[in-house]
Amino acid sequence: MELTSSITQVTVPARQGRAVRVRAGDLVRVSTPRGAQVGDLFAFVSGDLTEHLSASHTRGHVNRLFPEVGEQFVTTRRRPVLTLVEDTSPGRHDMLIPACDPERYRQLGHTGQHASCAENLTTALRELGIGITTVPQPVNVFMDIRAAPNGELEWRSSPAAAGAAVTFRAELDCVVVVSACPQDLVGINGTETGPLLIEIGTAP
Ligand SMILES: [Zn+2]
């Protein structure tokens, strides 16, 4: 799918996050240039940041655990905010696992500072002058979590090849945040953490 001629590109450096403002009708593409890099994706509705993409409301809305092309992601008010319109990856994305945060790394045995998606989210929003008090459950693009019939979860390394991309259509004006997950203690990313690329095709 070609984005329109007016394209904004934002690189999300490895282990960091970036926030972008999008308008209803815009296409938002997130890709993993080096492959196998998980991205935590959040969306907050412009004008009322207390309404945001909710993975749990989305699971109930679509009757699935994980995203599929054609499906909508809904907000805490059950309004569609994004639609997944194209996926060139193997289609493994997660809606179960929360954003990593400093406590997660402490519990994994890390001492000292460690980047996290929760802090990347608040930092990226702060650069737009936005403050938040809670970290929503993200949609974790390119993250391969499997749910076994007995309910157990299996964390696998991302199968996304270099250049794999997911493309969303914005259904509401919103702020989209993408964090290049810095998880390097659990093997969800490739052999090393890498960057992500956000491309926005502006609606005519
Ligand atoms: Zn993370």
Ligand 1: centre distance to CA 117 (Å): 4
CA of 189 to the centre of ligand 1 (A): 10
Q: State the distance from the centre of ligand 1 to the C-alpha of 38, rounded, in angstroms.
A: 8
For 34-65, the pLDDT digits (tens) are: 999 999 999 999 999 999 999 999 999 999 99
pLDDT in tens, 147-199: 999 999 999 999 999 999 999 999 999 999 999 999 999 999 988 999 999 99
Listed in sequence order, the residues at least 6 apart from 168 whose beta carbon sits closer than 8 Å to its beta carbon are 27, 28, 29, 30, 73, 82, 83, 84, 85, 176
**pLDDT at site 202:** 83
**How close is the Cα of 134 to the center of ligand 1, in Å?**
16
Distance 140 CA to ligand 1 centre (A): 9
- How many Cα atoms are found within 13 Å in the side-chain-facing hemisphere of 109? 3
pLDDT of residue 6: 73
Residues less than 5 Å from ion ligand 1, measured at CB = 100, 117, 181, 183
Give yes or no for residue 4 having a pLDDT over 80.
no
Rounded to the nearest angstrom, the distance between the alpha carbon of 30 and the centre of ligand 1 is: 16
CA distance 144 to 146: 6
Q: How many whole angstroms separate alpha carbon 158 and alpha carbon 115?
A: 19
How many angstroms separate the alpha carbon of residue 4 from the centre of ligand 1?
31
Distance 184 CA to ligand 1 centre (A): 9
